[in-house]
Structure 1
Amino acid sequence: MAEEQAQPQLALERIYVKDMSLEVPGAGVFTKEWNPELDINLSSNAEKLDDDHYQVVLTVSVTAKNAEEAAFIAEVHQAGIFLLKDIPEDQIGQILGAYCPNVLFPYAREVISDIVTRGSFPQLLLAPVNFDQAFAQSQQQAQVDAEGNA
């Protein structure tokens, strides 16, 4: 009798803020007209916790300058514990590098908006991010780098 193949399982089991911060280097920014320049950086990493669980951390950093003066630096490390059971090995990278950050981003976006507003700055809503495209580009770049080093 043929052995039944287990059904793949993918689930978000826990979501949490691993770390967050807001720095306001100087109060002088509050006395000037608000016309900021924003620098937004995103990154993610995954860590295997056991055979079936991964922790994925999406880091979102926003630096705002106003009139060439640092206004604020907001950063959140939004984390999730994901169950990946019986997932084909060739799909795990895509799930951890694109799907999981896509799930975490709305939560990170909310935290950034909240801490910026609590710092008495105007609300900041980050635009949606295409993590599938970003993952594909990083894979292509890694392949180019590997071919260049071969």
Structure 2
Amino acid sequence: MSDETLNGAAPAAGQPQATFTVEKLYLKDASFEAPNAPQVFNEQGQPDLQMKLNQKVQRLAENAFEVSLGITLTCNINEHNAYLAEVVQAGVFGLSGFDDQTLDAMLGIQCPSMLYPYAAAAIGQLVTTGGFPPFPMQPLNFEALYAESLRQRAEQGQQGGFLASAAPAGNA
């Protein structure tokens, strides 16, 4: 996947070519709690599911970034906590030759889009191993989520984005 050009256009002579590489994908953290088991298995009622996402970006080197996608899934039945599943799926990505705006978009859209299927699979495994019915996680539109985060930042008068918060490793 390295040596891809943006929008299929070749770089002009003398301009560096933009590259995007996936160096490593890994499960950084996972936990599962079923605090009311085994009684919760006898609960009748519609489960109330809440999902929260968060994303962190850390600059590892000039052209290397760790992107972490966190997913927390909470299930309550009749106001009793059935389970809490949390996963942080991460990856190290090489990005070079992008302007700051495009780089920020790549970190906010492309990288989490690649991590999400792995995180969803890990959540699904935790839930079923915990004795609960499978929870099929729907695809997410990270482009729309990124656009919303840009809108919120503009409303709050914040500059930057993922790049601004991506402190080099060891300097956080």
Please indicate, yes or no, whether the TM-score normalized by the shorter chain is above 0.5. Answer: yes
Matched pairs, number: 145
Aligned to 1:81: 92
Aligned to 1:6: 16
Provide Cα deviations, 1:6-30, integer angstroms capped at 9, x if missing partner.
2111011100000000001111101
Matches within 5 A, 1:1-150: 4-27=14-37, 28-33=39-44, 35-146=46-157
Query: How far is 1:113 from its partner?
Result: 0.3
Higher helix share: 1
Provide Cα deviations, 1:83-126, integer angstroms capped at 9, x if missing partner.
00122222111111111111110000000000100001001111
Q: Which amino acid aligns with 1:89?
A: D
Higher strand share: 1
SS at match of 2:61: coil
Point out 4+ residue stretches in structure 1 off by more than 3 angstroms: none
TM-score (normalizing by structure 2): 0.81
Query: How far is 1:46 from its partner?
Result: 0.5
Structure-2 separation of matches of 1:48 and 1:68: 41
Structure-2 separation of matches of 1:31 and 1:137: 40
TM-score (normalizing by structure 1): 0.92
Aligned to 2:164: none
RMSD: 1.3
Structure-2 separation of matches of 1:108 and 1:34: 27
SS at match of 2:157: helix
Structure-2 separation of matches of 1:98 and 1:23: 30
SS at match of 1:26: coil
Structure-1 separation of matches of 2:44 and 2:132: 12
Query: How far is 1:34 from its partner?
Result: 5.6
Percent identical: 34
